[in-house]
Amino acid sequence: LAGHRRNRASGPQAGTMTECFDCDNCKESLYGRKYIQMDNGPYCIPCYDAHFANTCDECKELIGHDCRELYYEDRHYHEHCFRCFRCDRSLADEPFTCQGEELLCNDCYCSEFSSKCVACEKTVMPGSRKLEYNGQTWHEHCFICSSCQQPIGSRSFIPDKKDYYCVPCYESKFAPRCTRCKKVGTAWQPKGAEGSTPGCVPSFCRERLL
């Protein structure tokens, strides 16, 4: 399944003090310095990063207050660390899939885990229309009749070795025909008609369409 990342929600805002004011942690003056206001008091930037910044799951470094932070499955990442495990493409603004512990872009996931069309040898993308038969997969538009070259789609078909035929084409090319009525059927001899030519016997023509 494709995953979703979440930017860190807008939280504490940095400000600049113009009057006497101390960091709640190190007690150093914040006069003329940037700070971040938390519920329990203001913090200088170094103290804020040391006490409140999350650790990147990839590089194990702190994600500073001025970094874009991405969040996925209870894990935090620097923007530049949130990348495809295979091709190293940034996933910050791309759809992706989590395969085990690995984050993969859609292209890498499809290349490695999706089935390939036996006709065009291209990847059958997740969600696209496909046909499966005898352990093989086709794009819907690639599964065509070997005779008329038209897509078979959801219609009935007849396999013949490595070829596939729509029913009309198969009947036209291969199916036996009644020697009397010329329609597709199965040659047979009714009881008592021994010696007659196989096929239709007057009053006994029985057709069996495929």
Q: pTM of whole model > 0.95? A: no
Residue 182 shares a structural domain with residue 169: no
Residue 10 shares a structural domain with residue 61: yes
Does residue 203 lie within any of the structural domains?
yes
- Other beta carbons within 10 Å of 106: 17
**Three-point CA angle 94, 97, 102, nearest 5°:** 110
Structure tokens at 192: 């008592």
Does residue 107 lie within any of the structural domains?
no
Which residue range is the domain that position 146 belongs to? 115-173
pLDDT digits (tens, 9 = 90+) for 43-73: 898 898 888 888 998 899 888 888 888 888 8
CA distance 34 to 16: 5
Residue 7 shares a structural domain with residue 77: yes
pLDDT digits (tens, 9 = 90+) for 25-38: 898 888 888 888 88
Backbone torsions φ then ψ of 4, nearest 5 degrees: -135, 135
Does residue 14 lie within any of the structural domains?
yes
pLDDT digits (tens, 9 = 90+) for 76-127: 999 889 989 889 888 888 888 887 778 888 888 887 777 888 889 888 877 7
Residue 169 shares a structural domain with residue 196: no
